[in-house]
Structure 1
Amino acid sequence: MSVLLNTLYVMTHGTRLRLDHETVCMEAENGNKQLIPLHHLSGIVCIGNIIVSPPLMMKCADEGRSITFLETNGAFKARVEGPVSGNVLLRQAQYQMLGQKEKQVELVRAMIAGKIQNMRSLLMRAARETSHEDDETVLRKAANALAIALKHLQMADDINQIRGIEGESSKNYFQAFSAMIRVQRDSFQMNGRNRRPPLDPINAVLSFLYTLLMHDCKGAIESVGLDPQVGFLHTLRPGRQSLALDIMEELRSIFADRLALTLINRQQIGPNDFESRPGGAIYLNEKGKKEVVIAYQKRKQDELLHPVLNRKVAFGLIPFVQARLLARYMRGDADSYIPYLYK
């Protein structure tokens, strides 16, 4: 049996977190108090103005739990964690891959193939389910463009070439994204992907979900002893979690895009769940963020079949399974990296 440890998300402005024996004590400004056993948690994510006591930080660091701080809009600010652990020989193999072009290309090609196939799967499913002929045309056209991209990807032998194919595929995918919205279309229109800042409600939801997914991918990478900053698709840059971003690519449409569409189409979030900022920026408000986080955590508890393991695993464990498959490839225990494909 697989056990999925929970991540605690704290979003209420002014909440104080402190250590109370073996529990986290959460105290809101209105006096409400809640205790959560530490052994139930794999990490804590603080969104907005949250106060964390030093004893709780040290306890989490000692026991391998991370505390991540995000801005109210979901942007990453800082992460508190204990000493680096893991297999130094595995990290050595990871660093050596920086000088192995063929192995890098093979890995990146597999990751992007997984991403494009998962995006295409979402488009095709939406095309089958829609009752609007115009939407079906848009969705199938985008899906066909991704099918062509997959053929070009098979022949790509340079990472920059693969990045170009990925970029064009994402552009085609997001141009058709609004056709997957079945309700509230006046409020939810998307003209391509935009961020820093997001300029419409759909991009606001996606950016927030991508931040949550990034947190999980980084934790998965670290759990197997890899360095999350040394990636191959995303260029190396101080402070950038390049490998976590790499492994996140194939999971974006599965974890974030599908959930965003579900929340909108089921009207679990609506126009009142957003706020405007100077310069045209649109972000989820506190109510909207709570709704998205609850749905995200619930989604992670669902079980589905993993084709490589040939057994059911919790949805939230998929980044951890993929991180282990990635580690096997880097060590040379596997001939190829197999991306996760959603069925």
Structure 2
Amino acid sequence: MRQLLNTLYVNTPNAYLASEGNNVKIIIDQDCVGQLPLQNFESIVTFGYAGASSGLMQKCLNQGIALSFMQPNGQIKGRVSGKPTGNVYLRRTQFRVADDDQAKLKLARNFILGKVFNQRWVIERFIRDHGMQVDQAKLKAVSVTLKDGLDKIQRAVDMESLRGIEGNLATEYFSVINDLIINQIEAFSFHDRIRRPPLDRVNALMSFAYSLLANECGGALIVNGLDPYVGFMHVDRPGREGLALDLMEELRAVIADRFVLRMINLKILRSSDFKQAPDGAVLLTDEARKKFLTKWHENEQKTLQHPYLNEKIEWGLVPFAQSQLLARCLRGDLDEYPPFLWK
């Protein structure tokens, strides 16, 4: 398993990135406010609008460092990455599978199996850890529904029925998210998943976390020689990384949702950490986004025992590990793609 290196998050909106020697320089109002060795990072994510120099981009390309540009709400604007890695025959296989209804259904079922399995265990863990503070009967009922849904997913005969099952189970799961908020309940109430734009604080945090996770999944797929734009569950759409969205399905609850709930319940973020845009969208303030990214990075450094590989790895390597397993499956080294199943 590869080593987990750091990600440099540049949060200041007017920061311009440049290079000097083998360092990345952070420049604000023509003053250098920071200079860090490029060799310490495997990716750079900037939320600034000032951009980056061509010299820095060239060095990132040469050293395999992904340079991603994101909007303040976490939506990715673009990514600079080097030459495609891996074998072209792997990508040709990926494209053939994407055009084969039964082959892609087999993979899509496993993505959604992992998603629903992990959603259920987020709820079960919460019952175990906070049983005196939650409506156990309500949470148990949804947990049972999700467990029963696993059989339905395995029996799905086409993509349309699979998407219908997944949609119904997602509604069940999100119906109890508000019950998992046990602190700051009035400031962080959640009723429905609202994406574009997020209109409340919980949705704003979820959207931001999902965007970070999608960017990491896209980068992990590229490193493993796959095309992040050609998915199996998500239909092709210009500019959308369908396979990255496929891969992150099984990781949403266990990586992003748990993180968001922890930020709320531990009172790391408060109502004062948000602002409202003219279109009604709720966004993190610049300072709050810095806190979010700091804790996100800390969370990625924590370790777990990977359920399939049976190796101890950092959470930040889970997208890479799953991308690697997907590539092995497409090459025929594995009979089936093993989803990430967390307990």
The two structures have a TM-score, normalised by structure 2, of 0.96
Q: Which residue of 1 aligns with 2:79?
A: 79
Distance 2:274 2:57 in 1: 32
- Segment drifting more, 240-249 vs 280-289: 280-289
TM-score normalized with structure 1 length:
0.96
Instruction: Tell whether the 8 Å contact from 1:11 to 1:50 is kept in structure 2 after alignment.
Output: no
Work out the CA distance in 2 between the residues paired with 1:30 and 1:290: 22
Alpha-carbon spacing, 1:4–1:260, altered in 2? closer, same or farther (3 Å): same
Write the mapping of 1:322-333 to structure 2, written as runs, cut at 5 A. 322-333=322-333
Whether contact under 8 Å (2:15, 2:48) holds in the other structure is: no
Cα distance in 1 between the residues matched to 2:18 and 2:307: 42
Q: Could you report, residue by residue, the CA deviation over 1:249-282 in whole angstroms, capped at 9, with x for unpaired residues?
A: 0001111100001111100001011101224321
Distance 1:99 1:51, change over 3 A: closer
Q: Amino acid of the residue matched to residue 34 of structure 1?
A: G
Which residue pairs with 1:55 in the alignment? 55
> Aligned equivalents of 2:246 and 2:286: distance in 1?
29
Partner of 1:271: 271
Report what 2:186 is aligned to: 186
Q: Does 1:310 align with 2:310?
A: yes
Task: Report the CA distance between 1:96 and its aligned residue.
Answer: 1.2
CA shift in 2, pair 1:61/1:279, >3 Å: same
Alignment match, 1:282:
282
Cα shift at 1:131: 4.5
Show structure 1 runs of 5+ residues with no match: none
Match of 1:96 in 2: 96
Point out where structure 2 has 5 or more consecutive residues left out of the alignment.
none
Q: Is the deviation greater in 254-263 or in 70-79?
A: 70-79
Which range moved further: 39-48 or 131-140?
A: 131-140
AA of the residue aligned to 2:113: A
Give per-residue Cα distances to partners, 1:127-185, cap 9 Å, x unaligned: 23335576223222221221121121121121111111111111111110010011100
Per the alignment, residue 232 of structure 1 pairs with: 232
Verify the 8 A CA contact 1:128 1:136 in the aligned structure 2.
no
Show CA shifts across 1:42-92 (max 9, x none).
111111324311111111122222211111121221222233332101011
Q: In the alignment, which residue of structure 2 is the partner of 1:70?
A: 70
Query: Counterpart in 2 of 1:177?
Result: 177
Q: SS of 1:51's equivalent? A: coil
Match of 1:109 in 2: 109
| Percent of aligned positions that are identical | 40
Q: What's 2:242 paired with?
A: 242
3-state DSSP class of the match of 1:52? coil
SS of the residue 1:187 aligns to: coil
The answer to whether the aligner puts 1:26 opposite 2:26 as a matched pair is yes
Task: Verify the 8 A CA contact 1:130 1:136 in the aligned structure 2.
Answer: no
More moved, 132-141 vs 162-171: 132-141
AA of the residue aligned to 1:4: L
**Cα distance in structure 1, aligned partners of 2:162 and 2:284:** 33
